[in-house]
């Protein structure tokens, strides 16, 4: 399933006498991502490819031929960042939705929804939100908080982790939800003392409300895509791996927008639909360098903040609760084996230590059943592990697809709900690397901002957002800046079988790169989150700032 143009062909094309030189950037501080030649000062671009990267001798050789020459003024250049885990279209819609992430009190939460309702026509849904109830002490919101402000607007706002929603009473009536609505496997309907739904629906239970939200039009989708592509380009992101749980119809949405040539996409399909993805690939192939398909994803457990991540031992603050599974391990095993036999990559969401261990079991059985091959199995999030499972990652060749920003976010309150011992092996980036495991970094946008610089800052400093850990939360799990850069570039390209065409700056590879105003390898790491993205190039074309 590896999609690549021969690197040999690309390099030889770059050496022909009549090659057009479109851009030369000189006097720069370039981190190439290549182990044998990590630093350079000159980058030469021909079309959408890197023609050459190296020292000042390239400046002499190519400058007179170039259509454009840029003095890099000693600015820092890296390969384009690859965000290995985003929910792209839904997050793109969220850019124009109600903003609840930093609502610090119930009154502020309700007030922002009230304000959004007054700005929308009657009947319009209020969606997204990304609220965080830990900011006001942990009390879950209820429909009663917002019903008086939204009599004419159905509301379905999502907790920032995507595993819990709040619906108002109008939305529940439209969905036919009442006291008599039965519980949902793999989900929770939170009820009051009389058995009435409060408006909170966790994991699979949220589908009761999602089922009545109107579909977006293709025109609305395309407009949201464009806004999202421009937004991530402003953060230095040139490729995203989309992790929305969608059926195969989602591929057509991406096909409509890929020719905008702003963002490259790696797109998968929900694991239950793996046969449809297999059929599309058999008919049309895996795609091209702008849109590639090839993986199946599902969620085994929920999230830490919603108390739905699956653990071996109970939550410290809820001694009878060990989380929940969205499907059985047996059903996951059957689907994973089928998808793997069809040559699809597997990317399974697992957060709690029991869920991670069970996915490793599933992968071990898949390999035993279908035989050895280059699979690049992924576990999305891989947040909380038993120590024995780091070595299992390495042995099975499983990629830890992790989101470092979560460490400095969840680190504010994590120990209160799972205790100090389990915290020691949470977001354990150093332990993964020391065990020989490949780390691929992402954001989980919109759960966290799609900002690699903040992710690098988080992985290197581990300073929690509340400022209470200036030396780092669980500091033994810090990694170096260069290791974090590799996780956002070289390793992330490897995670999608794309290391031959992207992830580092090398002759023959795609000309995807970012220019920063400071050298990440030289400044104090605490300043990394404040570094500015000056320019983003995808395929040799400047996509940020916009022309």
pLDDT digits (tens, 9 = 90+) for 260-283: 999 999 999 999 999 999 999 999
Lowest mean pLDDT among 215-219, 461-465, 488-492: 215-219
Q: What is the mean pLDDT of residues 418-443?
A: 98
Say which residues have a Cβ less than 8 Å from residue 156's Cβ, sequence separation at least 6. Answer: 125, 126, 127, 165, 166, 167, 171, 209, 210, 213
| H helix count then E strand count, the chain | 18, 23
Kindly state whether residue 58 falls inside one of the protein's structural domains.
no
- Whether 16 shows a pLDDT value over 60: the answer reads no
CB 407 within 8 A of CB 382: no
CB 3 within 8 A of CB 286: yes
Question: What confidence score (pLDDT) does residue 111 get?
Answer: 97
The values of phi and psi at residue 58, to 5°, are -70, -30
Kindly state whether residue 56 falls inside one of the protein's structural domains.
no
β-sheet bridge partners, residue 156: 127, 167
Rounded to whole angstroms, how far apart are CA atoms 221 and 228? 10
Rounded to whole angstroms, how far apart are CA atoms 462 and 473? 5
Kindly state whether residue 4 falls inside one of the protein's structural domains.
no
Rounded to whole angstroms, how far apart are CA atoms 365 and 315? 29
CB 50 within 8 A of CB 96: no
User: Exposed, middle or buried: residue 53 (CB in 10 Å: 0-12, 13-18, 19+)?
Assistant: buried
Kindly state whether residue 146 falls inside one of the protein's structural domains.
yes
Kindly state whether residue 114 falls inside one of the protein's structural domains.
yes
Question: What confidence score (pLDDT) does residue 1 get?
Answer: 30
Cα 273 to the center of its chain, rounded Å: 21
Question: What confidence score (pLDDT) does residue 18 get?
Answer: 63
- Whether 7 shows a pLDDT value over 90: the answer reads no
Instruction: Take residue 309 and report the two structure tokens written for it.
Output: 């991540």
- Whether 9 shows a pLDDT value over 80: the answer reads no
Kindly state whether residue 109 falls inside one of the protein's structural domains.
yes
Q: Which residue has the tokens 């819990």?
A: 164
Kindly state whether residue 40 falls inside one of the protein's structural domains.
no
pLDDT bracket for residue 546 (50, 70, 90): confident
Phi-psi region of 133 (alpha: psi -120 to 50; beta: other; left: phi over 0): alpha
Q: What is the pLDDT of residues 46-83, one digit of tens each?
A: 999 999 999 999 999 999 999 999 999 999 999 999 99
The SS3 of residue 214 is coil
Average pLDDT, the chain: 94
Q: What is the CATH number of the domain that holds 120?
A: 3.10.310.70
Question: What confidence score (pLDDT) does residue 162 get?
Answer: 86
| Helix 250-257 vs helix 218-233: crossing angle, to nearest 10 | 60
Task: Please report, in angstroms and rounded to a whole number, the separation of the first and last CA atoms in the chain.
Answer: 36
Q: What is the mean pLDDT of residues 194-209?
A: 96
Kindly state whether residue 226 falls inside one of the protein's structural domains.
no
The values of phi and psi at residue 501, to 5°, are -125, -10
Domain span including residue 111: 91-210
- Whether 8 shows a pLDDT value over 70: the answer reads no
Q: What is the pLDDT of residues 323-335, one digit of tens each?
A: 999 999 999 999 9
Closest alpha carbon to 250 in 315, 297, 204, 209: 297
Q: What's the structural domain count of the chain?
A: 1
User: Exposed, middle or buried: residue 107 (CB in 10 Å: 0-12, 13-18, 19+)?
Assistant: exposed
């Amino acid at each position: 399933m590896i999609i690549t143009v021969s690197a040999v062909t690309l390099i030889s094309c770059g050496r022909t006498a009549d090659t057009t030189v479109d851009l030369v950037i000189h006097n720069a501080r370039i981190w190439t991502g290549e182990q044998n030649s990590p630093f350079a000062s000159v980058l030469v671009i021909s079309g959408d490819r890197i023609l050459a990267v190296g020292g000042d001798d390239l400046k002499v050789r190519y400058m007179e031929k170039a259509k454009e020459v840029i003095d890099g003024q000693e600015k820092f250049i890296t390969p384009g960042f690859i965000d290995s885990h985003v929910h792209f279209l839904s997050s793109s819609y969220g850019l124009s939705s109600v903003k609840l992430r930093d609502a610090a009190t119930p009154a502020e939460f309700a007030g922002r929804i009230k304000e959004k309702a007054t700005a929308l026509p009657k009947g319009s849904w209020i969606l997204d939100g990304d609220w965080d109830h830990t900011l006001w002490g942990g009390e879950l919101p209820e429909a009663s908080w917002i019903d008086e402000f939204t009599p004419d607007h159905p509301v379905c706002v999502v907790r920032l982790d995507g595993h819990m929603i709040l619906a108002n009473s109008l939305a529940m009536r439209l969905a036919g939800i009442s006291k008599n609505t039965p519980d949902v496997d793999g989900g929770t309907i939170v009820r009051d003392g009389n058995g009435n739904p409060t408006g909170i629906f966790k994991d699979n239970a949220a589908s009761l409300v999602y089922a009545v939200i109107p579909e977006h039009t293709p025109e609305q989708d395309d407009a949201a895509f464009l806004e999202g592509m421009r937004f991530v380009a402003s953060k230095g992101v040139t490729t995203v791996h989309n992790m929305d749980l969608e059926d195969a119809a989602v591929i057509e949405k991406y096909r409509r927008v890929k020719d905008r040539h702003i963002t490259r996409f790696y797109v998968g399909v929900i694991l239950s639909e793996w046969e449809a993805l297999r059929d599309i690939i058999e008919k049309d192939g895996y795609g091209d360098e702008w849109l590639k398909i090839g993986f199946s994803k599902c969620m085994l457990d929920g999230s830490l903040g919603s108390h739905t991540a699956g653990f071996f031992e109970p939550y410290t603050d809820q001694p009878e609760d060990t989380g929940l599974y969205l499907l059985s391990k047996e059903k996951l095993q059957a689907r994973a084996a089928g998808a793997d036999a069809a040559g699809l990559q597997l990317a399974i969401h697992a957060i709690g230590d029991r869920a991670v261990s069970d996915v490793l079991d599933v992968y071990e059985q898949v390999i035993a059943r279908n035989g050895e091959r280059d699979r690049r199995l992924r576990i999305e999030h891989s947040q909380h592990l038993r120590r024995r499972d780091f070595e299992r990652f390495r042995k099975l060749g499983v990629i830890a697809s992790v989101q470092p920003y979560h460490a400095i976010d969840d680190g504010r309150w994590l120990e209160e709900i799972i205790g100090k011992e389990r915290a020691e092996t949470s977001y354990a980036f150093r332990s993964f690397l020391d065990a020989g495991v490949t780390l691929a970094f992402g954001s989980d946008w919109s759960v966290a901002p799609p900002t690699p610089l903040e992710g690098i800052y988080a992985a290197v400093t581990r300073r929690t957002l509340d400022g209470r850990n200036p030396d780092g939360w669980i500091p033994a799990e810090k990694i170096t800046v260069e290791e974090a850069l590799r996780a956002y570039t070289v390793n992330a390209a490897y995670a999608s079988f794309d290391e031959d065409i992207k992830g580092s700056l090398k002759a023959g590879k795609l000309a995807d790169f970012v220019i920063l105003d400071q050298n990440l390898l030289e400044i104090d790491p605490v300043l990394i989150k404040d570094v500015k993205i000056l320019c983003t190039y995808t395929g040799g074309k400047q996509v940020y700032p916009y022309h």
